Structure 1
Amino acid sequence: MPDAFGLYLILTDPVAGYGACARAAVLQGVRYLQLRIKKRPEAEVLKTALALRKITAGTGTVFIVNDHLRVAMESDADGVHLGQEDMDIAEARSIWKTPGKIFGLSTHNEDQEKAARLLAPDYIGVGPVFSTPTKENPDPVVGLERMGEIIRSSPLTAVAIGGIDEKNLPDVISHGARNFAVVRAVNKSPNPEAAIALLMGIWRRHQAS
């Protein structure tokens, strides 16, 4: 049965700093924390990854590196997240053979979700649900209805992603999302712990209702 854990936090240039956001995520019991740094030297990405690995090690927060398989391996992250244009999951698994590592995959439509089933990722991203400025060349918006249909029909653990914040989160959940990824709602906050607590609180209330 697909897993339900709520918030999947993606860190990209957080105003409060990577360390502060990671510590807030651990304190608030966030299950997944992803480091997503684009267009920076790999050495810089690795330095940040090592710092976040140190913060998350031995906690209940799973640390994922976006795109950079070598950084994920060298930082001993818990896993790597790959996009449709990145390395194939089968190839990534053949390179990173350490048991228990997590491999996530982005999907943007029904066909990609069905193709993902054959690859058996540990989870998939589904979106973008809403328009978002966090990507230079975003995929077409999926919308709430299609998001829900994709998630409900999939045997895979799914994470709704794309423009999700505290205002539209209730609609995302009511349309079938059991898990959701957030970028701006936390990265743009000077108080990441409060922002995380707000989002987690909304999710918990909907799970209880």
Structure 2
Amino acid sequence: MTADARFWDRIAPKYANAPIRDLDAYRYTLERTRSYLKDSDRVLELGCGTGSTAIALAASAAEITATDLSEGMLKVGQERAWNAAASNVEFRCCGVLDAPEGPFDAVMAFNLLHLLPDLEAALASIAAKLPAGGLFISKTPCLGEAQGSWKYWMYSIAISLMRLAGKAPGHVDFLDIRTLEAAVQRAGFEIIETGNYPVDTPGRYLVARRR
């Protein structure tokens, strides 16, 4: 088990009970994502956490494979899927690079890309799971947009202190929007929609089509 898996396992109960910070932004993200899914689609979600998003979108796809490297998170997700009668959501324990091969009609990654130590490798792996025309749908906190401000300094200090206290994962990348979108395009995608939900941070929502 990796250090990150142990971290997420440890905080799974607290994470599961924590309220969504910006419920309006989350609901709008779900709404935009639903608009791209078809009831015949096979969907892969990477870094699904406790499964809330996969379960919320279950009725919009034929099947969703929800993956995470934390067994603790997935256990919560399985219980939630059972309670919600979301029988078309399957949970698997794995990281991004060893996720199921597919092919899938869509791959989703919400609040994940900034936590990956090798973004380029992750995006290449995602692209390999999609046929031409397949969709990559993500939302990523772009902490790097605050660079040079007091907010950026506060983020840097807070995350460093949280990591020392065991309250933050081992890697957090301060991505900016330009860097993120350039990496997605280099991986073989055409970006077809973007937005910031929420605007503050920002949480960069991105839909890209495999070329």
TM-score (norm 1): 0.38
TM-score (norm 2): 0.38
Higher relative contact order (CA 8 A, sep 6+): 1
